[in-house]
Structure 1
Amino acid sequence: MSESIHPSAPHHLPFFIPGADGSDTLTVIMGIFLVATVLWVGTLYWKLHSLPERMAHKSQKLQFEVVAVLGLISLFTHMHIFWVAGLLLALIDLPDFGTPMRSIADSVERIADATPGAPAAEPEVEPTPGGHSGAKTPAREGVHNHV
């Protein structure tokens, strides 16, 4: 059999038509484009999904953890209301209740450790360079020292 081309066939075929050897250029190009697009869209989705967590990273630890849990719940349940709730929580600055409560707890603990009827322990003061200790003189009975 002869390998000659039929006289009515075109001598140059466009790139999107598969060659006689079985190679399909358009399929290879579209396959690479599809893989690149899926990776790009996936990266964009992960960046958008982690937006509330990245915003809450600057806030308090508890708020950050709650936003992160809401993001995970929305990821696994596909319920976007959790993502919206996490975004709103990340946008709001919650007041710091922990520091005053910790101060109150420390004060109550010091009060509870004090024995009733015993005089309060005075803080130790280091002596000053002039030889004076800087400690207050104890108050005499009936006389009050006002500072």
Structure 2
Amino acid sequence: MTHTAHPAAPHHLPWFITSPDQSDVLMWIMGIFLLIAVLAVGNIFLRLHTLPERMAHRSQKLQFEIVAVLGLLALFTHQHVFWVAGLLLALIDIPDFGTPLRRIAGSAEKLAGIPPGEGNLAADEIERAAISQKQLEH
């Protein structure tokens, strides 16, 4: 069966107009383009959304975890204030208070004659000895 163009149709049709028995090339091209565009925009959105987490990754663990939680809250609640707060927190360097305090504790342990890092164990032993002494007194 031969399909002929309608007499009212123009003689030179564009390339994307197909015969009834052929596949629609433009539809396939646009479908592939749409799939690639959706994946590309989704990838850009994901990279932008995880920007605060990637920035906070090089900082302290606690700061990174707070930024990660703020990012998840922003993702699931669609409240952009959480993302902005996470970004601001990732940009700020929180001072490290743990290292000086550990050094002070180590120096105090050294002065007390306790091996470094065993101050908690010594305190537990002292507490157990005090409890056992109280029990012996009663």
- Please confirm whether the aligned pair reaches a TM-score higher than 0.5, indicating the same fold: yes
Work out the CA distance in 2 between the residues paired with 1:6 and 1:45. Answer: 48
Q: Displacement of 1:11 after TM fit?
A: 4.4
- For 1:85, the equivalent position in structure 2 comes to 85
Deviations 1:60-90 (A, max 9, x none): 1211111111111111111111110010001
Aligned length: 114
Work out the CA distance in 2 between the residues paired with 1:84 and 1:12. Answer: 56
Cα root mean square deviation, aligned: 2.4
Q: Greater relative contact order (Cα 8 A, min sep 6): structure 1 or 2? A: 2
Q: Percent identity?
A: 67
- For 1:99, the equivalent position in structure 2 comes to 99
- Structure 2's unaligned 5+ residue stretches are 115-138
- Contact 1:49 1:71 (8 Å CA) reproduced: yes
Change (3 A) 1:34 1:108: same
Change (3 A) 1:4 1:75: closer
> Rg bigger for which structure?
1
- Contact 1:52 1:90 (8 Å CA) reproduced: yes
Deviations 1:21-55 (A, max 9, x none): 14212211111111110000000001101111111
Residue 70 (structure 1) aligned with residue 70 (structure 2): yes
Q: Displacement of 1:105 after TM fit?
A: 3.6
Return the TM-score normalized by structure 1. Answer: 0.65
- For 1:20, the equivalent position in structure 2 comes to 20
Q: Secondary structure at the match of 1:72?
A: helix
- Structure 1's unaligned 5+ residue stretches are 115-147
Work out the CA distance in 2 between the residues paired with 1:15 and 1:99. Answer: 71
Given residue 28 of structure 2, which amino acid in structure 1 is its aligned partner? V
Q: Displacement of 1:19 after TM fit?
A: 2.0
Change (3 A) 1:57 1:32: same
Change (3 A) 1:88 1:11: same
